[in-house]
Chain A
Amino acid sequence: MTVPASAYLLLSAALFTLGTVGVLVRRTALILFMSIELMLNAVNLAFVTLARVHANLDGQLAVFFVLVVAAVEVVVGLSILVHIFRSRDTVDVDEVDLLRG
């Protein structure tokens, strides 16, 4: 039995939605960050599936770019987080609130 492409796309959409909801409702910077990574990986799944549907490699190629960019984001993001944690002992975005608009 083969799993149809639509199932993968639905899974991708579900993961992406989970990530989006995570960003909107969670309050710890680290978890927000993980949710964003979940969104990026949902995109990767969509790209791979669609590459198979279209029978070309563009989508698989895209995944490599996304992986690299995600890694770079981790480097920059974690260094910002570690720096804030060192000077304040918290990364809760409700407590990091000197700027309120």
Chain B
Amino acid sequence: MSLDLRPLFPELAVVAASLVALVGDVFVRGPRARMAWPVAGVVAVSVAGVLVWRAGDAAFGSLYARDALGNALQAVALAVAAVGLLLARDYLVRTGLDRGEYYALVLLSTVGAMLMVASQDLLFLFVALETLSLPLYVLAGFARDSHRSQEASLKYFLLGSFASALLLYGVALVYGVAGSTALSRLAEADASFPLLVGLGLVVVGLGFKAAVVPFHAWAPDVYEGAPVPAVAFMSVVAKVGAVGALLRILPATVPHLLSAWQPLLAALSAATMLVGNLAALRQTNLKRMLAYSSVAHAGYLLIGVAAGSDAGVWSAVYYLAVYGAMKLGAFGVLTFLERAGVEADEVEDLRGLADRSPAAAAAFAVFMASLTGLPPTAGFVGKFYLFTAALEAGLLWLALVAVATSVVSVAYYLRAAYTAYLGPARAGVRVLRAPWAGVGLGLSAGATLLFGVLPGPLTSWAQRVAALLR
């Protein structure tokens, strides 16, 4: 067996950039020279993004395979990494955290997500999941001297490892039944009690990463404590990996067991939407509010998994891309605010933003509208596709829950957007100039509006995923 690394060139490009940032940081001094790391990271993920569309085969035996679903989600993960790096730079310089490790960890975590969505074997999936998660635990604690950041890191680590262990036991059970951890063997397995328990544990493990109720308890605490740019990145990349893996395992591999897993996934989806949106209503801290919003969106994404149809799969891929743009943007606005050297993260701190930085306030309003699902933003189109997929799959009640919770979510999203247009500004809150983050914010806002006004190209791109799946 020869080792053909060509399919892995995109991942290798990103790993190379992370190593350059990690090692180079020892030699490079001065803030100006350190601009090299975010630039190198963005260049590497762009190169990788191009390579994704050229490579096309299996690697590591049959553990890893490039296919349409993997390519599409890898492209999303790379775009998320690029914007995530842009949003981080100004914040890191300001808070004295500007070190090569940050960029290296973001890139390594991206590689984990890329491997995860392309894996063809449950064991490989587990290793990829850890590659995704371990850098995120460190990123959560990246503000090393902040007690809140340390605590976020500890909580994320303990609960994340616990979830990984559950997933792994599920993999062992599946292996016991199928005699192999390969997804191709799982696809031929008949329904049996240990197999279903094993799959259930795998779903639980991935549900933890995607912050699905009832495994979401870590999310608000971790998001509140971790540095904003790290939260922006992790809230999206973990979902790309986890939801991508769920799509690959459930609708793509075991459609013949649909009757067994569809009720479970639909129930998880409904519970996640309800708890996430209702809890978000009560939050006064913007990071916590966005954390619960992130929980709620895990529920919307699960609709695509629960539908179990081609339409469900491509709607979920579409929504993951859109979710990335709007969530990165929403957290990105927070990197502009500061109170006495620390993050200003209360909803009330947004007051007067429109007077001091009209562009940031306008972008924030776009993100909030999109998270709610209002036209003409991409969030509306994405939710429309997902709800339609639920209806076509005969899950009318799930679609109704989704619509009802979206209506509820208007209250807190628009309250936050409205606050940004109320004056005067709160005493002590400063709005900073952040050119790098401005570029990242512009890209996210542009994508959110573009895919809302012209959904055609992204839709046909996402639909190709489903067409090539089987």
Contact = CB atoms under 8 A, between A and B. Distances in A.
Contacts of B173: 46
B179 A32 contact: no
B318 interface: no
Counting from the closest, the 9 A-B pairs by CB-CB distance are A39-B165, A99-B221, A46-B172, A101-B220, A54-B179, A50-B176, A43-B168, A36-B161, A69-B130
Given A36-B165, A46-B172, A76-B138, A99 B157 contact: no
Given A42-B169, A46-B172, A33 B158 contact: yes
Interface string B287-303: 01000000000000000
Residue in A62, A84, A87, A101 with the greatest tally of chain B CB atoms within 10 Å: A101
Interface stretch (B89-97, B144-152, B326-334, B439-447): B144-152
B176 A69 contact: no
Contacts of B150: 80, 83-84, 87, 96
Interface in B340-358: none
A45 to B, nearest CB: 9
Interface residues of A, number: 45
Interface string B310-328: 0000000000000000000
A87 B221 contact: no
Interface of B: 123, 126-127, 130, 134, 137-138, 141, 144-145, 147-148, 150-155, 157-158, 161-162, 164-166, 168-169, 171-173, 175-176, 179-181, 217, 220-221, 224-225, 288
Chain B contact residues: helix, strand, loop or mixed:
helix
A99 B123 CA distance: 34
A80 B141 contact: yes
User: Which of A43, A53, A93 has the most C-beta atoms of chain B within 10 angstroms of its own C-beta?
Assistant: A43
Nearest to B130: A69
A98 B158 contact: no
Contacts of B126: 65-66, 69
A97 B207 CA distance: 24
A87 B175 CA distance: 44
Nearest to B141: A80
A33 B162 CA distance: 9
B148 A29 contact: no
Contacts of A73: 130, 134, 161, 164
B168 A76 contact: no
A69 B132 CA distance: 12
B134 A62 contact: no
Given A23-B162, A59-B175, A81-B154, A43 B225 contact: no
Contacts of B148: 98-99
A84 B175 contact: no
B41 to A, nearest CB: 21
B162 A36 contact: yes
B407 to A, nearest CB: 24
Given A93-B154, A99-B221, 10 more contacts: A32-B158, A36-B158, A36-B165, A43-B169, A58-B175, A77-B137, A97-B151, A98-B147, A98-B225, A101-B221
Nearest to A100: B221
A22 to B, nearest CB: 10
A29 B154 CA distance: 8
A50 B172 contact: yes
A80 B130 contact: no
Given A19-B165, A84-B154, A98-B151, A69 B127 contact: yes
A59 B154 CA distance: 31
